[in-house]
Amino acid sequence: MVFRADGESQPGPGLIGAILRYRGAAGEERIREEDRRIRDDLGASYGALVGRVRDVARRLADERKIVEVGPVDEFAQTLDHFADRLRTATYGYAGLFAELDPDPGMVEQLRRFDQGLARGVAEIEAPVAALEQALAAGGDTAAPARQGTAAARQLLARFDLRGRIVETGKPVAQESALAALSAEALGLPHAAWELDRGVALAVLGDDFVVEGKIGVAGGGSAFRLFRLSSAPEEWLFVPEETEIGLARLSPVDAPPPGEEQTLAGVPYTVAAEGDGSGEVVGAGGSSGVRPVRYSVLRGAQEPAARAVTLDWGGERQAFAGVGVHPDDLEIFGRPLGE
């Protein structure tokens, strides 16, 4: 799946294409069929995620962790309610289905809302995966469950506004659209947070397959560095906190301890730093969890500049590069057969 909203206003496949291809009574039914198909396909994807959340709730109940079941069950019910609404919503014959000359603003907004609903699968996948990991590790399941519930409620808001566009044939207020489409409003990590070895992606149009990763957490921050290639060596920086932003980095000479704010002659300011634990995972497996001191840096003079330093005690690493807009990242998944 491609999680991308590239901002182009050209009509694409699916409901938007149907809107612009068909006219008249027969056209209305073709548009309805396309709308149902899109919603059925997405509903199946969300339904599979509901099943995974319910599996976690059942396992918690089997283990007699009754207090922990509540937040997980709320996540499952909220997401199931959204998936059911998505599959079963019905619309009258006015609004979108009666438009012979669709409002260009409506067409563009509807395209973005359908992209937002598709992107929502990844937005829900992140807390579902975190929930499963917490269960396996015996950790806190409430936090990812609450995050997932918030994400599901955001999807309901998206779908409600989409329904208003369909029913009226007119765009909604831009502020309302932006709020409903924003994953950042939830504090959710980018979908790239869940990358793993063997996953194919493109960054700024360049294709890669993830070769390994470094995960760091502690001191109030968490981030992951995914190795995109080894010749030349490139890494994708993905923070858990979306306000820091993604970055495409390459190794540089590590500065002396205490001088992290200048790398390769470029001055930086500190966005986050602290002591935590880190793990390197590659073709040979995991290095094991080790103590690490880190700093995440922003350019002091060049706003797009980004850098990361890692001090493992006897080894120091530094990476520098530029920020990447989320829309410039495409995730394709694993190649067939893997």
For 23-80, write each residue's pLDDT tens digit.
444 445 566 677 677 778 888 889 999 999 999 999 999 998 888 899 999 999 999 9
Q: What's the CA gap between 63 and 318, in Å, rounded?
A: 44
- DSSP class of residue 326 equals G
Kindly tell me the sign of the dihedral angle through the C-alpha atoms of 63, 67, 71, 76: positive
Question: What is the pLDDT, as a whole number, of residue 159?
Answer: 82
Question: What is the pLDDT, as a whole number, of residue 331?
Answer: 82
Q: What's the CA gap between 200 and 211, in Å, rounded?
A: 10
Q: What's the CA gap between 211 and 208, in Å, rounded?
A: 9
In the chain, what are the domain boundaries? 15-188, 196-333
Kindly tell me the sign of the dihedral angle through the C-alpha atoms of 281, 236, 45, 183: positive
Q: Using alpha carbons only, how large is the chain's radius of gyration in Å?
A: 22
How many Cβ atoms from other residues are within 10 Å of residue 119's Cβ?
22
How many Cβ atoms from other residues are within 10 Å of residue 111's Cβ?
21
Q: What is the pTM of this model?
A: 0.50
Residues of the chain whose pLDDT is less than 50? 1-27, 92-95, 97-98, 100, 180, 185-186, 336-338
Of 91, 114, 95, the residue nearest 14 (C-alpha): 114
Tell me the HSE value of 110 on the side-chain side, using a 13 A CA sphere: 30
Question: What is the pLDDT, as a whole number, of residue 182?
Answer: 58
